Structure 1
Amino acid sequence: MSAAVQAQPNTRLLLSGNDAIARGVWEAGATIAAAYPGTPSTEILETLALYPDLYAEWSVNEKVALEVAIGGSMSGARSFCAMKHVGLNVASDALMTITVSGVVGGLVIAVADDVGMSSSQNEQDSRYWGRFAHLPILEPADSQEAYEMVKQAFDLSEACNTPVLLRLTTRVCHVKAVIGVGSRVARQPTGFTPDPRRWVMAPANAKGLLPAQIAREDKLRALAETSDLNRIEDGQDHRIGFVTSGPAYLHVRECFPNAPVLKLGFTYPLPVGLVNKFAATVGHLVVVEETEPLIENELRAAGMTKLHGKDLLPRLGELTPAVLMPAVHGLVGEPLPAGAVYPSSNPFPRPPTMCPACPHMGVYFSLSRLRKQVLISGDIGCYTLGAGQPWNALDTTISMGASMGIALGMDKARGEAGRDKAVVAVIGDSTFLHMGMQGLLDIVYNRGNVTAIILDNRTTGMTGGQHHPGTGKRLTGEEAPRIDFAKLVEALGVAPERIRTVDSYLLPVVYKTIKEEIAVPGPSVIITTRPCVLSEFFERQPAYRVIDESCTGCGNCLKVGCPAISVKRTEARTRSDGSTAELKYVTIDGAMCTGCRMCVESCGPKAIAPAQPVATA
């Protein structure tokens, strides 16, 4: 059990923003928590699951997670769910309705934006949901505020009968700070009270609730004007004043310690009156916000003209000191002060790759050999790396579960001229359960000529190895029913004879199976069965080595893509036809090698053998 869980009240702890939020949710008396893992929000539920007197689950996707939390709130329990920014897109259907009906127990939704796109396919600004769904947004700047604001969010939720969005960014989620913690406030759920006019959201009932939603937003707007989460911090130099929120506030304070700042924590509804009051005290007003100009646009719409924002600052990435200092100092015609140069961080690039013995490598090695014969629709997960070297075996990656629908669209659009290439959809086990099942059902229903490969590595690998219905364990580690993927896809309509299960380490078998399935028209599914090497289900085997005198330098083992294999020397050799071939003699790092044998399967000269001789009787 972590130190944060064991800590007594009035203790100070070093916590990340995610850990601090978990502590705050528990102290607030929440009893229901649900999420789907997604960087940078994943650790919130992992930490929260360690606390007592609270139910926590990994849901199959973000929509289900929010619905579980909504059900808890309807029953009078303080409820919480977490997701990354793209996850809120998935949950938006439920979100847009619960903001009309309101809540009973406090309902807080933590959404983590990946500013800078360190691990996401887009950089979206979740603050838009406040405007779109008419719900309040709180924005912490660091771990201490994250801990405090999540508790305030529950109070605000119940006081105003609304879900509350806690908008985080990667820098809040993952940066640690010393914070003071308190104790849990016990709250018993009141139970569900039937009220069809409120909870059965037929059009007639929903129309009757809209006036209350509008009145609630007016109340929230008034609260934002006086909230202690929005504060004016005076300064000595009034030439420039800043309006800012979240981690950008810390960057502003670092760069301009003498400037007045309006620090916003309750950012929607926007306290326009407070901003006007602050603007009257400064020469230039600069809005510093990541990433979209939401605050700036609202202020301009309210009639403010003497302000700056995205005319000085970029609309993408973090607004770090390296960005802020040169942009803002130019506003008053001053050079950068001595010693205040913030160089950009340009670390030596390291291309992403899969782990040694990753079972995905066997599939991509085979697909790369079939590259001229297939179009390959990919998905979101570790296996997205199949688009890179040495495989180059993905053509698309759009969103969770999209491989299925995109593959069907490719199939239906190609016509007779494109029949020379088969269509393959690649998807992971967790992603298939998250949003891929519907796509496969659509392929079957519409008679798509698609081969789907489900890479079952028995974990949610990309976000750190979380459990899901295909692992046989729950978030808290206890045993759970384990989905049989073969039976599941058969239930979705795939013919039993078109469902193949393969060991992804057996390269000739994988290659042969894919080639056979793409040759036969109609929907088919190939399921791989090796666990992730970082999961508890993986069993490490003795390492392998290269027999130097047998190695021909063909480099075929390098095409598997295992990072444990590296080139130790190259040699140019002239062929009989006069052309030049580059021979690559390799070595295997015994500390990295896990004994998967994929390199052995790829080696024609049989130059790879166990690192330690096998004992004989």
Structure 2
Amino acid sequence: MSAAVQAKPQSRILLSGNDAIARGVWEAGAKVAAAYPGTPSTEILESLSLYPDLYAEWSVNEKVAMEVAIGGSMSGARSFCAMKHVGLNVASDAFMTVTVAGVIGGLVIAVADDVGMSSSQNEQDSRFWGRFAHVPVLEPADSQEAYEMAKYAFELSEAYNTPVILRLTTRVCHVKAVVQVGEKVAHDIGGFKSDARRWVMTPANAKGLLPAQIAREGKLQALAEASPMNFLDDGPDKRVGFVTSGPAYMHVRESFPDAPVLKLGFTYPVPVALVEKLAAQVEHLVVVEETEPLMEQELKAAGLQAIHGKDLLPRLGELTPNVLIPAIKTFLGEPLPPTTTYPKFDPFPRPPTMCAACPHMGVYYSLARMRKNVQISGDIGCYTLGAGHPWNALDSTISMGASMGIALGMDKARTEETKDKAVVAVIGDSTFLHMGMQGLLDIVYNRGNVTVLILDNRTTGMTGGQNHAGTGKGLKGDDTPRVDFAKLVEALGVKPERISKIDPYVLPVVFKTIKQETAIPEVSVIITDRPCVLSEFYTKIEPYKVIDEDCTGCGNCINVGCPAITVKRSESKVRPDGKVNELKFTTIDTAMCTGCHMCVESCGPKAIVLAKPAAAAE
């Protein structure tokens, strides 16, 4: 059990921002919590699941997580959901409606923005949802504030009949700090009370609720102006004053310790009057915000024109001291501080790749061999790495579940040049359940000629190996019904004879099945069935090694892409016809090898054998 769960009232414990939010949600008396894993928000629900007297689930996607939380709130329970920034795009349909209907039990939505795109396909600023949906936004700068704001958000939600967004960034989510925690408070659940005029959101009912939403925003504006979460951290150097929020406050304070800083924690509605007070005290006012100029534009729209922001600072990435100091000093006409020089070295390149024995490698090895004859639509997950070396076997990756619709679009937009190319969509098991099912249904309904590869590794791999509806395990490791993918895709309309289930470690079968199904001009689905090597379902077998004297340097094993295989030496050999063969003699790291035997099947000279022969192992 985590230290946060074991902590006594008024304890000081080391918590990441994600763990601190979980602690705050539990102490606030929340009863329902739901999420879909997505970095950097994943650990919030994992941590929350360890607390007693609270229901927590991995939902099949963020929209469902939002709806579960809304249902809990409608029933009077304090409810919570968490997601990364792109997850709120998925959940926005339900979210935009509940902002009109309001809440009964407090409803808090933690949204983690991946500033700097360490693990995301785009960089969004979730503060815009506050303005778009007319709901308050709270922004913690560290773990202590994350804990406190999570608790306060429920009170704010109930007091003003509104969902509350807790906007996080990667730095807040993952950086640890000492947090002073308290006790859990009791929160009574009144139970659901039928009220069709409020909860049945027909146009007539929704129109009746809109005036209350508009009036609420005015009250929230006044609350933001008076909130103790927004305070002026004064300083003697009045040349530049800063308006900032979240972890950017820490960077500003570190970079300019003598400057006045208006630190905002209650960031939407923007407290314009507070900013005006600071503006009157300084020569220049600079808005420091990650990533979009939301506050800057709001302030300019309110009449504060003599302010700076994105004219000095970048709109992407974190605003760390190495970004802030040069920008502001250049603006003031001051010399830049001397930079420390370090010995230059070129680190060994280490691009992201799949794990040793990853079941996705066999699929991409086979697709790479067919590369000239296929268009390959990819998806979000570990299998996105199929775009990299040595496979180079993806043409697109857009968003969760998008491989399906994009593949159908590719199919329907065939030209003379591409009419004979097969169209393949690659998607993982968790992603298929998240958003892929509707796409496959659309392919079937519209008679697409697409071969769909569902790579079932029995986990949500890229975010750390979380369970989902296809693993047979729940958030707390409890047994649950497990989706049968073959039956599911048949129910979506795929013909039984066009559904194949294969072992991705058996390369000849993988290649033959893909080639066979792509040659048939209708929808087909190939399901791989090997668990992720990092999951509880994987069983390691004996590793392999290369017999040096038998290795011909053909390099086929390298093309499988396993990181346990490395090139020991290279040679150039001139053939009788004058062409040069580049030979790559390999070795296998037996400590890393898990015995998947894909490299064995790629090896023509049979130079790869068990490191411990069966007789010796016995």
Task: State TM-score, norm by structure 2.
Answer: 0.98
Determine the structure 2 residue equivalent to 1:260.
Answer: 260
- Structure 1 counterpart of 2:82: 82
Structure-2 residue corresponding to 1:495:
495
Equivalent-residue separation in structure 1 for 2:271 and 2:562 (angstroms)? 55
* Counterpart in the other structure of 1:358: 358
Paired amino acid for 2:394: L
Match of 2:597 in 1: 597
Cα distance change of structure 1 residues 475 and 249 upon mapping to structure 2, 3 Å threshold: same
Structure 2 letter corresponding to 1:521: P
| 1:401-412 matches, cutoff 5 A | 401-412=401-412
Which residue in 2 is equivalent to 1:173?
A: 173
Cα deviation, residue 278, structure 1: 1.1
Structure 1 position 243 matched with structure 2 position 243: yes
Root-mean-square deviation (Å): 1.5
Following the alignment from structure 2 to structure 1, what is the Cα–Cα distance between the partners of residues 269 and 129? 11
Take 2:351 and 2:181, find their aligned partners in 1: how far apart are those partners?
40
Taking a change above 3 Å as real, the CA distance of residues 340 and 295 of structure 1, as seen in their structure-2 partners, is farther
Letter in 2 for 1:212: A
CA distance in 2, matches of 1:602, 1:105: 59
How far is the alpha carbon of 1:453 from its aligned partner?
0.2
Query: By how many angstroms is 1:418 displaced?
Result: 2.2
Alpha-carbon separation, structure 1, partners of 2:388 and 2:401 = 20
Question: Does 1:43 pair with 2:43?
Answer: yes
Aligned position for 2:462: 462
Name the counterpart of 1:387. 387
Query: Cα–Cα, structure 1 residues 345 and 167, in superposed 2: closer, same or farther, change >3 Å?
Result: farther
Q: Aligned ranges for residues 112-191 of structure 1 at < 5 Å? A: 112-191=112-191
| CA pair 340-128 structure 1, distance change in 2 beyond 3 A | farther
> What are the superposed Cα offsets for residues 94-153 of structure 1, whole Å, 9 maximum, x if unpaired?
010000000000000000000000000000100100110000000000111000001010
**Structure 1 residue 420: Cα displacement:** 1.4
Structure 2: state its 5+ residue gaps: none
The correspondence of residues 501-516 of structure 1 with structure 2, limited to 5 A, is 501-516=501-516
CA displacement, residues 368-409 of structure 1 (integer Å, 9 cap, x when unaligned): 001111100000000000000000000000000000000000
Of all paired residues, the percent bearing the same amino acid is 78
1:29, CA displacement in angstroms? 0.3
Which residue is 1:613 aligned to? 613
For 2:349 and 2:602, locate their aligned partners in 1 and report how far apart those are by CA, in whole Å: 29
8 A contact 1:321–1:342 mirrored in 2: no
Quick one: distance in 2 between partners of 1:343 and 1:172?
A: 31
CA distance in 2: counterparts of 1:101 and 1:137, whole angstroms: 18
Aligned-pair CA distance for 1:10: 1.1
Q: What is the match of residue 534 of structure 2? A: 534
> TM-score by structure 1 length?
0.98
Q: 1:275 to 1:527 in 2, by over 3 A?
A: same
What is the letter of the counterpart of residue 600 of structure 2?
V
Between 1:422-431 and 1:177-186, the stretch displaced more is 177-186
Cα pair distance change 1:162/1:341, threshold 3 Å: farther
List per-residue Cα deviations over 1:213-243 (Å, max 9, x = no partner).
Answer: 0000000001000000100111011111000
Deviations 1:188-209 (A, max 9, x none): 3110111000000000000000
In structure 2, the partner of 1:208 is 208
**Mapped partners of 1:69, 1:542: distance in 2:** 46
State the match for 1:12 in structure 2: 12
Contact 1:449 1:521 in 2 (8 A): yes
Deviation at 1:331, TM superposition (A): 2.0
Q: Which residue of 1 aligns with 2:277?
A: 277
**For 1:603 and 1:591, how far apart are their aligned partners in 2?**
20
Are the aligned partners of 1:322 and 1:341 in contact in 2 as well (CA < 8 Å)?
Answer: no
Q: Please report how far the alpha carbon of residue 529 of structure 1 lies from its aligned counterpart in structure 2 after TM superposition.
A: 0.1
1:339 Cα deviation from its structure 2 partner: 7.3
SS at match of 1:241: strand
In structure 1, distance between residues paired with 2:466 and 2:189? 29
In the aligned structure 2, how far is the partner of 1:101 from the partner of 1:343?
Answer: 60
CA distance, structure 2, for counterparts of residue 17 and residue 36 of structure 1: 18
Partners in 1 of 2:150 and 2:553 — Cα distance?
Answer: 59
Tell me which residue corresponds to 1:96: 96
**In the TM superposition, what is the alpha-carbon distance from 1:582 to its structure 2 partner?**
1.1
1:329 Cα deviation (Å)?
1.1
Shift in CA distance, 574/338, structure 1 to aligned 2, threshold 3 Å: closer
Instruction: Return the alpha-carbon distance in structure 1 between the equivalents of residues 151 and 243 of structure 2.
Output: 24
Paired residue secondary structure (2:252): helix
What's the CA shift for 1:343?
Answer: 13
Given that 1:364 and 1:391 are in contact with CA atoms closer than 8 Å, whether structure 2 keeps it comes out as: yes
Write out aligned runs for 1:443-454 (5 A).
443-454=443-454
Q: Is the 8 A contact 1:400 1:434 kept in 2?
A: yes
- Report the number of matched residues: 617
Within 1, Cα distance between the matches of 2:583 and 2:469? 46
Counterpart position of 1:23: 23
Please report how far the alpha carbon of residue 345 of structure 1 lies from its aligned counterpart in structure 2 after TM superposition: 13
Relative to structure 1, the CA distance from residue 346 to residue 41 in structure 2 (aligned partners, 3 Å threshold; closer, same or farther) is: farther
Cα distance in 1, alignment partners of residues 548 and 79 from structure 2: 61
The 1:339–1:375 alpha-carbon spacing in structure 2 relative to 1, beyond 3 Å, is closer
Q: Distance in 2 between matches of 1:233 and 1:319?
A: 19
SS of alignment partner, residue 573 of structure 2: strand
Letter of the structure 1 residue corresponding to residue 3 of structure 2: A
Aligned-residue offset at 1:415? 4.3
